């Protein structure tokens, strides 16, 4: 197998260099003791390849050509070359010399030593043979020559090699040779060391980061290392001296390896796929070519493989030379590094080429230009990788910081959303969801506890909205929320919770106009007094922009476990309880099923009542009214009775409030008047002085047709309006004092008597009562129940009688159950009485019987 200098082959191809020949006379090399020896030689080319040393020696002197510089490059030739030079020791001392062809890749080299015509020694070497034996232990082809004082010897060298015939002859004193060889070896090993360190660093980075970029780079630099250790012959000398074939292939394989992985690295490093598709395509083509080159290095003949390598090198260098600037122009930072890194290598290649071609002088720089260039390239690219690593890390940290920022923002947004979902947007009070959650939580913690769910509704908010506009009413709401929170905070019984943000919650906004609190009654220290005080405070007008605004709040409450076992039901029932408060009275209305018009059974009850009224299935019972002055029966109070087909007797208190809420009351009142007047007509025949009282409700006051109805019905039976009394409870009158007054007036105007029922159960003022067109006041049973036993009750009743009389009203005592009370009332000057003592309410027929049998009681 032949070998040649592959590097020079491609350099030759690159620069299409020619050969340099020079002709000279045969001259010997004069050698003294001084260290420097200017070498020169004569040579002939053996075109036939058949010359022996004898043939060569017999050639005429003029057939030899002169190479005065001592170094020649004959290009690619497989023809043997013969070199000849004479060594003259002009000194008086023995000299030991080394004649060396300073190129490790020569295939077959044979040295001949002649003293005159006597052949002293012959030594064959070359890198197609095992490394040892060598005449001098060094990778370059060297021959040891000793000269005695004034002695001259002629040396012949036959060289035959594949590829480039590069013959740099150097003749050195033996000691100088070794000094220089060791210097050179140190430099080489320093260079190899550097490459090895770079390889190891990049392998380590690759193993840590698992980024193939670093692996490509490590393998590419390994390719360089293999190339330079092979071309310098050190790997042959030190690693596999017995395997010249391996030595040849190692050099061949090193080139595709370094090129292949340099290209892979380049693509990855410059991210050509993203930044320059054309460049990427060229690099990909290069990759396929290098794979082919790799296999050709393994299996093709040396010369073919070297040709392919040379072509590859031409493209490889050109492509990578432009890759950096292209990426740089595309704005890639890596492009700058790559351009800078590739430049010294290009300079190195050019310098080596220039030296080989004789354009540049032979000196340290030109001699080691390739090594320096590739070393710098490796170094700069290592810096570039470090820079990339640094930036990537920075980017990663920035990305992490960014994602952290995003996460915080996300978290904040979530918190805001959660806050928005759990709070009222105007008052920022926790909302109904939060209230339900809190109440349920409390129940869960202590299911055996007792809790009140209290609700407040600002009933005038709608009206306030319309009057003041939304902005001001929002301010009002905020004011109310604050006031409520301030009041609730001081209440011992109001349950307080600390939310996630550390804020104290005690008042919750359940809807636009209602608020809720949870009360744990066992922690109330003053038996609801402070709570009632707070409610009163809430009823005070709110002052906004110098306006005192009446809020008309209503308060409702429900009790756990009696009124419900979860927050939703308790809140609902507290709202129902609110309906149970007499209007304009600042009291807590507790839930009662009786008033729960919304319960299903109650809803069906109302439709049943409507049916009963329409089909005359209800009845009027009559309770007589006794005059305490004359002892006669002066009137009858009509009281509705309903015998429900399934539920049996249902008393007015169980359906009247519901009828009022659902509006069925208008139907009921209409029926009561029609039936009452009809019964009255029947009674008047026998008892011409008897009047009848019919109860009406507050809702009837809004029913404008009432007058008409009464008048037409009375007319129908030819009864005078004075026989009819309309009873309206005190609280019903107070519900809407102004319009109540007007309607009562219109009723009185047509001649009806007006009676104020249940007087004393509400809070009406006498000054207001004074304005009413009433003729009669009925004292509520609750005031009369203990008049015989309680002095204060007696005083109250006495005062009430006197005041009523003072205002011109007749007084009726209700619910009198015993004779004692009756007599006392008579004594006190009360005008009339009703009660079980006298008679229970009776159906018309029974009443007629009772009336017939009645004898003046006094």
For strands 65-67 and 41-45, give the pairing: antiparallel
Take residue 5 and report the two structure tokens written for it: 């200098």
Name the residue nearer to ligand C2E (CB basis): 26 or 643: 643
Cα dihedral 782/785/787/789 (nearest 10): -130
The interface partner of residue 817, options being Mg ion, ligand C2E, none and the CB cut-off 5 to 8 Å by kind, is: ligand C2E
The interface partner of residue 580, options being Mg ion, ligand C2E, none and the CB cut-off 5 to 8 Å by kind, is: none
Name the residue nearer to Mg ion (CB basis): 12 or 783: 783
- The alpha carbon dihedral of 673, 675, 678, 681 has a sign of negative
How many residues in the shown chain lie near Mg ion by CB under 5 A?
5
List, in sequence order, every residue forming a beta bridge with 543; answer none if it has no partner.
548
Q: Buried b / exposed e across 217-233, counting CB within 10 Å, b at 16+?
A: bbbbbbbbbbbbbbbbb
Q: Buried b / exposed e across 613-628, counting CB within 10 Å, b at 16+?
A: beeeebbbbbbbbbbb
162, 757, 776, 831: which one binds Mg ion (CB under 5 A)? 757
The interface partner of residue 350, options being Mg ion, ligand C2E, none and the CB cut-off 5 to 8 Å by kind, is: none
Q: Buried b / exposed e across 735-773, counting CB within 10 Å, b at 16+?
A: bbeeebbebbeebbeeebbbbbbbbbbbebeeeebeebe
SS3 of 783-812: the string is HHCCCCCCHHHHHHHHHHHHHHHHHCCEEE
Name the residue nearer to Mg ion (CB basis): 107 or 814: 814
Name the residue nearer to ligand C2E (CB basis): 312 or 662: 662
Distances (CA, A) of 93 to 36, 96, 127, 151, 704: 16, 10, 35, 10, 154
Shortest distance in whole angstroms from residue 526 CB to ligand C2E: 34
List, in sequence order, every residue forming a beta bridge with 357; answer none if it has no partner.
none
Shortest distance in whole angstroms from residue 544 CB to Mg ion: 41
Of residues 44, 45, 39, 35, the one with CA closest to residue 69: 39
Quick note: the x/- pattern for Mg ion over 324-353, rule CB under 5 A, is ------------------------------
Shortest distance in whole angstroms from residue 839 CB to ligand C2E: 8
| C-beta of residue 696 within 8 angstroms of C-beta of residue 664 | no
Shortest distance in whole angstroms from residue 736 CB to ligand C2E: 16
Name the residue nearer to ligand C2E (CB basis): 384 or 830: 830
**Quick count: other Cβ atoms within 10 Å of Cβ 30?**
14
Distances (CA, A) of 195 to 95, 237, 284: 40, 19, 26
Take residue 610 and report the two structure tokens written for it: 């409507």
Question: Cα(575)–Cα(228) distance, rounded to whole angstroms?
Answer: 96
Name the residue nearer to ligand C2E (CB basis): 154 or 729: 729
The interface partner of residue 662, options being ligand C2E, Mg ion, none and the CB cut-off 5 to 8 Å by kind, is: none
The interface partner of residue 605, options being Mg ion, ligand C2E, none and the CB cut-off 5 to 8 Å by kind, is: none
Shortest distance in whole angstroms from residue 624 CB to ligand C2E: 10
Q: Which stretch binds Mg ion (CB under 5 A): 35-43, 85-93, 722-730, 829-837?
A: 722-730
| C-beta of residue 81 within 8 angstroms of C-beta of residue 43 | yes
Name the residue nearer to ligand C2E (CB basis): 518 or 639: 639
Shortest distance in whole angstroms from residue 677 CB to ligand C2E: 13
Distances (CA, A) of 653 to 606, 644, 659, 660, 665: 14, 15, 10, 11, 13
Shortest distance in whole angstroms from residue 621 CB to ligand C2E: 7
Shortest distance in whole angstroms from residue 817 CB to ligand C2E: 4
Name the residue nearer to Mg ion (CB basis): 653 or 792: 653
Largest CA distance in the chain: 188
Binding residues among 646-705 for Mg ion as defined by CB under 5 A: 695
Name the residue nearer to ligand C2E (CB basis): 320 or 784: 784
Quick note: the x/- pattern for Mg ion over 807-836, rule CB under 5 A, is -------x----------------------
Alpha-helix runs per DSSP H in 646-696: 652-662, 664-684
| C-beta of residue 342 within 8 angstroms of C-beta of residue 373 | no
Name the residue nearer to ligand C2E (CB basis): 371 or 669: 669
Shortest distance in whole angstroms from residue 731 CB to ligand C2E: 10
Residue 855's φ and ψ, nearest 5 degrees, are -120, 145
Question: Cα(561)–Cα(307) distance, rounded to whole angstroms?
Answer: 100
Shortest distance in whole angstroms from residue 779 CB to ligand C2E: 10
Calculate helix-pair angle for 244-269, 369-422, nearest 10 degrees: 40
Question: Cα(718)–Cα(325) distance, rounded to whole angstroms?
Answer: 120
Residue 594's φ and ψ, nearest 5 degrees, are -60, -35
Question: Cα(182)–Cα(175) distance, rounded to whole angstroms?
Answer: 11
Shortest distance in whole angstroms from residue 667 CB to Mg ion: 19
Question: Cα(112)–Cα(782) distance, rounded to whole angstroms?
Answer: 152
The interface partner of residue 651, options being ligand C2E, Mg ion, none and the CB cut-off 5 to 8 Å by kind, is: ligand C2E
67, 608, 727, 831: which one binds Mg ion (CB under 5 A)? 727
In 715-761, which ranges are E strands? Answer: 724-729, 753-759
Question: Cα(35)–Cα(28) distance, rounded to whole angstroms?
Answer: 17
Token pair 């009027």 in the structure block, residue: 620
Shortest distance in whole angstroms from residue 695 CB to Mg ion: 5
The interface partner of residue 623, options being ligand C2E, Mg ion, none and the CB cut-off 5 to 8 Å by kind, is: ligand C2E
Q: Is 758 in the site for Mg ion (CB under 5 A)?
A: yes
The interface partner of residue 815, options being Mg ion, ligand C2E, none and the CB cut-off 5 to 8 Å by kind, is: ligand C2E
Nearest-CB residue to Mg ion? 727
Shortest distance in whole angstroms from residue 758 CB to ligand C2E: 5
Name the residue nearer to ligand C2E (CB basis): 352 or 834: 834
Name the residue nearer to ligand C2E (CB basis): 619 or 711: 619
Question: Cα(369)–Cα(384) distance, rounded to whole angstroms?
Answer: 22
Shortest distance in whole angstroms from residue 770 CB to Mg ion: 21
Shortest distance in whole angstroms from residue 774 CB to ligand C2E: 15
Name the residue nearer to ligand C2E (CB basis): 269 or 621: 621
Shortest distance in whole angstroms from residue 757 CB to ligand C2E: 5
The interface partner of residue 672, options being ligand C2E, Mg ion, none and the CB cut-off 5 to 8 Å by kind, is: ligand C2E
Residue ranges in contact with ligand C2E by CB under 6 A: 623, 638-640, 651-653, 656, 669, 672, 695-697, 727, 757-758, 814-817, 834-836, 841
The interface partner of residue 9, options being ligand C2E, Mg ion, none and the CB cut-off 5 to 8 Å by kind, is: none
Name the residue nearer to ligand C2E (CB basis): 90 or 597: 597
The interface partner of residue 776, options being Mg ion, ligand C2E, none and the CB cut-off 5 to 8 Å by kind, is: none
Name the residue nearer to Mg ion (CB basis): 167 or 813: 813
The interface partner of residue 142, options being ligand C2E, Mg ion, none and the CB cut-off 5 to 8 Å by kind, is: none
Coil vs helix vs strand at 833:
strand
The interface partner of residue 835, options being Mg ion, ligand C2E, none and the CB cut-off 5 to 8 Å by kind, is: ligand C2E
Write out the residues near Mg ion by the rule CB under 5 A: 695, 727, 757-758, 814
């Amino acid at each position: 197998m032949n070998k040649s200098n592959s590097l020079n082959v491609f350099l030759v191809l690159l620069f299409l260099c020619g050969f340099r020949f020079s002709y000279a006379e045969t001259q010997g090399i004069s050698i003294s003791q001084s260290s420097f020896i200017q070498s020169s030689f004569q040579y002939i080319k053996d075109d036939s390849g058949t010359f022996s040393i004898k043939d060569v020696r017999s050639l005429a002197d003029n057939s030899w050509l002169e190479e005065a510089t001592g170094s020649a490059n004959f290009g690619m030739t497989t023809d043997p070359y013969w070199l000849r030079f004479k060594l003259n020791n002009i000194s008086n001392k023995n000299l030991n010399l080394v004649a060396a062809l300073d190129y490790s890749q020569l295939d077959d080299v044979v040295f001949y030593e002649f003293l005159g015509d006597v052949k002293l020694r012959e030594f064959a070497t070359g890198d197609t043979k095992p490394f040892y034996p060598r005449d001098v232990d060094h990778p370059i082809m060297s021959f040891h020559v000793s000269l005695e004082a004034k002695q001259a010897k002629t040396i012949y060298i036959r060289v035959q090699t594949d590829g480039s015939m590069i013959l740099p002859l150097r003749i050195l004193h033996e000691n100088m040779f070794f000094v220089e060889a060791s210097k050179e070896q140190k430099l080489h090993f320093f260079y190899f060391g550097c490459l090895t360190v770079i390889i190891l660093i990049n392998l380590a980075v690759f193993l840590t980061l698992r980024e193939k970029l670093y692996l490509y780079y490590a393998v590419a630099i390994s390719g360089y290392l293999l190339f330079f250790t092979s071309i310098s012959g050190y790997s042959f000398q030190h690693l596999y001296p017995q395997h010249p074939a391996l030595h040849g292939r190692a050099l061949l394989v090193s080139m595709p390896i370094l090129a292949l992985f340099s290209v892979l690295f380049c693509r990855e490093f410059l991210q050509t796929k993203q930044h320059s598709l054309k460049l990427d395509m060229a690099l990909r083509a290069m990759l396929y070519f290098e794979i082919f080159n790799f296999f050709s290095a393994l299996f093709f003949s040396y010369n073919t493989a070297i040709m392919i390598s040379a072509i590859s090198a031409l493209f490889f260098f050109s492509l990578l030379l432009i890759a950096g600037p292209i990426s740089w122009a595309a704005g890639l930072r890596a492009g700058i590094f790559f351009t800078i890194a590739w430049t010294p290598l290009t300079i190195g290649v050019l310098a080596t080429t220039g030296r080989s071609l004789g354009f540049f002088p032979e000196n340290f720089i030109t001699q080691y230009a390739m090594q320096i260039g590739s070393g710098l390239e490796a170094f700069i690219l290592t810096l570039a990788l470090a820079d990339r690593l640094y930036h990537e890390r920075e980017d990663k940290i920035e990305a992490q910081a960014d994602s952290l920022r995003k996460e915080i923002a996300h978290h904040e947004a979530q918190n805001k959303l959660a806050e928005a979902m759990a709070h009222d947007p105007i008052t920022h009070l926790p909302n109904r969801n939060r209230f339900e959650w809190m109440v349920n939580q409390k129940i869960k913690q202590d299911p055996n506890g007792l809790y009140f769910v209290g609700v407040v509704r600002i009933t005038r908010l709608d009206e306030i909205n319309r009057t003041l506009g939304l902005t001001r009413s929002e301010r009002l709401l905020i004011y109310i929320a604050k006031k409520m929170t301030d009041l609730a905070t001081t209440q011992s019984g109001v349950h307080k919770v600390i939310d996630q943000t550390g804020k104290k919650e005690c008042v919750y906004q359940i809807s636009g106009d209602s608020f809720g609190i949870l009360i744990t009654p066992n922690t109330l220290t003053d038996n609801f007094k402070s709570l009632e005080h707070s409610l009163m405070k809430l009823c005070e007008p709110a002052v906004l922009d110098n306006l005192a605004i009446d809020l008309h709040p209503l308060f409702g409450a429900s009790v756990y476990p009696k009124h419900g076992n979860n927050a939703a039901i308790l809140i609902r029932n507290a709202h129902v309880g609110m309906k149970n408060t007499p209007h304009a009275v600042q009291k807590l209305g507790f839930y009662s099923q009786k008033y729960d018009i919304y319960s299903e059974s109650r809803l069906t009850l109302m439709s049943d009542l409507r049916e009963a009224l329409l089909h005359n299935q209800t009845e009027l019972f009559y309770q007589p009214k006794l005059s305490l002055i004359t002892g006669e029966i002066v009137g009858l109070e009509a009281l509705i009775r309903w015998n429900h087909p399934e539920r049996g007797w249902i008393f007015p208190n169980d359906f009247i409030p519901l009828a009022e809420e659902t509006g069925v009351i208008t139907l009921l009142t209409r029926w009561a008047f029609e039936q009452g007047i009809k019964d009255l007509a029947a009674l008047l025949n026998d008892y011409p002085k008897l009047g009848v009282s019919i109860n009406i409700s507050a809702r009837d006051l809004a029913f404008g047709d009432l007058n008409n109805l009464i008048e037409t019905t009375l007319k129908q039976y030819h009864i005078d309006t004075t026989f009819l009394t309309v009873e309206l409870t005190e609280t019903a009158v107070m519900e809407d004092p102004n319009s109540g007054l007007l309607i009562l007036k219109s009723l009185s105007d047509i001649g009806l008597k007006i009676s104020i029922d249940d007087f004393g159960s509400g809070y009406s003022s006498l000054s207001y009562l004074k304005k009413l067109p009433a003729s009669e006041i009925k004292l509520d049973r609750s005031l009369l129940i203990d008049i015989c036993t309680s002095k204060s009750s007696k005083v109250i009743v006495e005062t009430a009688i006197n005041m009523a009389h003072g205002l011109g009203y007749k007084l009726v005592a209700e619910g009198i159950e015993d004779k004692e009370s009756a007599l006392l009332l008579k004594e006190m000057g009360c005008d009339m009485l009703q009660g079980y003592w006298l008679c229970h309410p009776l159906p018309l027929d029974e009443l007629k019987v009772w009336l017939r049998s009645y004898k003046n009681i006094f």
